[in-house]
Amino acid sequence: MDWLTAPFQLEFMVRGFIVAILVGTLCSVIGAFVVLRRLAFIGDGIAHASFAGIVIAYLRGANFYLGAAVVAVLTALGIGFVHRKANVSLDTSIGVLFTGAFALGIFLMSRQRSYTVDLQDYLFGNILGVSRQDLLLIAVLCAIVTVTLTVFFRALVYTSFDPIVAQASGIPAGGLDYLLLVLLALTIVVTLEAVGIILVAALLVTPAAAAYQLTRRFSVMIALSAVLGAFCSVGGLYLSYYLNAASGATIVLMATLVFFAAVAIKRLWLSAPHHARSSRP
């Protein structure tokens, strides 16, 4: 069993595993809402936009997470605002705002004569580069998102299924939309250093999409998604250690494999004789 414990001899590996479990679980829980509300493109957009915040924080010598969080939340709210006020479709609003913010990040970075490579860590992820301070911040943000999700869980489920009827019955559907976008932005910021801007959307979508294949109840889906997300993050980190590969990419590839396995399991199960009578129409 030495191979299981070997990575834990290194302190940065231990921190990496803790981050992997935290962000893997958190992303997949909120990912269940992302999948059912079709917010995958928003997640990708917010992640790209946060790059501007990281560059600004870098130039100012401020905390990267703080910079990313401010820009990510502003972009998330801006996307909703432009969609409603400028009367353009949601994906157009996302397309305009996230490319604009991402370009701002590149523009600011390109004007620096010498920029260190560590900005690249945020593009491709470096879960092993997480400092103790970062870990604390990640844990606090995870706690905030988890508590908020728990408190508003039922209302978020209802508005995900039927926002119109939920609102007519007195649930503030519009406010909950914005709340979910803010939680999504915070989750993305927490996840940036683990898998990188380019691949964050995968952790938001893939475990939840795999869970969606395997269950017909939302509460089961969200629990299964959390387990799959944590499993892929930890398993991917192990694999990357032994294969000497980029951790973020390995985690995402692992999730992709799990997704296709879930699709295969569902097809086998649906074609099994015991299920032949009661399959979906």
Partner 1 sequence: MAVADAVWVHDVTVSYDGNIGIERVSIVLHPSEVLGIIGPNGSGKSTLLKTIAGLLRPIRGTVEVFGETPQHLRPGTIAYVPQVETVDWNFPATVWDVVAMARFPRLKPLQRFSSRDRTAVHNALQSVDLTALSNRHISALSGGQQQRAFLARALAQEPQLLLLDEPATGVDAATSELLRVVVRGLAAKGMPVLIATHDLENAEQWFDYLLLVDRTVVAYGRPSEVLLSPEFKRVLRAHHHTRELI
- Site of interaction with partner 1 (CB under 8 A): 36, 87, 150-152, 154-155, 157-158, 160-162, 164-171, 212, 215-218, 220-221, 278, 280-281
Q: Choose between 120 and 219: whose C-beta lies nearer to partner 1.
A: 219
Q: Choose between 118 and 162: whose C-beta lies nearer to partner 1.
A: 162
List C-alpha distances in Å: 26 to 2, 109, 116, 183: 29, 30, 30, 10
Residues 6+ apart with CB under 8 A from 228: 28, 207, 210, 211, 255, 258
> What's the closest the beta carbon of residue 113 comes to partner 1, in angstroms?
50
Cα 269 from Cα 82, distance rounded (Å) = 44
DSSP state string for 76-137: HHHHHHHHHHS---HHHHHHHHHHHHHHHHHHHHHT-S---THHHHHHH--GGG--HHHHHH
Q: Choose between 1 and 164: whose C-beta lies nearer to partner 1.
A: 164
Residue 224: which of 208, 237, 235 has the closest Cα?
Answer: 208
Q: Choose between 107 and 172: whose C-beta lies nearer to partner 1.
A: 172
Cα 213 from Cα 274, distance rounded (Å) = 18
> What's the closest the beta carbon of residue 170 comes to partner 1, in angstroms?
3
Q: Choose between 5 and 278: whose C-beta lies nearer to partner 1.
A: 278
Question: What phi and psi values does residue 38 have, to the nearest 5 degrees?
Answer: 55, 50
> What's the closest the beta carbon of residue 150 comes to partner 1, in angstroms?
7
| Encoded tokens for 77 | 């709210």
Cα 102 from Cα 47, distance rounded (Å) = 9
> What's the closest the beta carbon of residue 189 comes to partner 1, in angstroms?
25
> What's the closest the beta carbon of residue 176 comes to partner 1, in angstroms?
12
> What's the closest the beta carbon of residue 168 comes to partner 1, in angstroms?
4
Q: Choose between 69 and 171: whose C-beta lies nearer to partner 1.
A: 171
Cα 145 from Cα 154, distance rounded (Å) = 15
DSSP state string for 128-151: GG--HHHHHHHHHHHHHHHHHHHH
Q: Choose between 110 and 278: whose C-beta lies nearer to partner 1.
A: 278
> What's the closest the beta carbon of residue 216 comes to partner 1, in angstroms?
4
SS3 10: coil
Q: Choose between 244 and 278: whose C-beta lies nearer to partner 1.
A: 278
> What's the closest the beta carbon of residue 32 comes to partner 1, in angstroms?
9
